[in-house]
Structure 1
Amino acid sequence: MLEGKSMTTLPIVETQSGDVSAYIPTNVISITNGKIFLSADLFNAGIKPAINVGISVSRVGSAAQIKAMKQVAGKSKLELAQFTELEAFA
């Protein structure tokens, strides 16, 4: 920070064969407040925006949400995760 100002960054990282565990994708979080992973499979399935919510993260998370939103989001995330897991085995 310079004189009470901040800098906003929006790094864009392309993974090799979708490997999100490589050095750069895993270390992007250290310079940002989160990361959003886009999925070609979701895009090709017609899901837009094609955000893979299972591996996208936010440092802020629920700290920035009101109580009602936390309750809805928590339940929705669980239901989406369960649906996605069941869909993978269908």
Structure 2
Amino acid sequence: MSENPYSKMSLEELNTKVKTLKSVTSIFSGILFVLVFAVVFLGIRKGFSAISIVPVALIPILIINLGTLKKIQDEIKSRNS
């Protein structure tokens, strides 16, 4: 099992990383939501095309970002308790 890379970071660095990751993830999820809506709307109006898989292909990035955010928050909680 590999070592936790967040254990080497200071608490201030972790808090900064959480703040940045939260803002990036929220912006990304908003854009992804708009993209899903646009693909569904255009799919109904003009038919689905190969570009319709783009939102589905971007969902793993959102899941990875949320997992990373949870790991960092768990590290912060473990240091505070």
Q: With structure 1 as the length reference, what TM-score do the two structures score? A: 0.31
| Greater percentage in strand | 1
Q: With structure 2 as the length reference, what TM-score do the two structures score? A: 0.33
| Greater percentage in helix | 2
Between the two structures, name the one with larger relative contact order (CA 8 Å, sep ≥ 6). 2
Q: Determine which structure has more spread, i.e. the larger CA radius of gyration.
A: 2
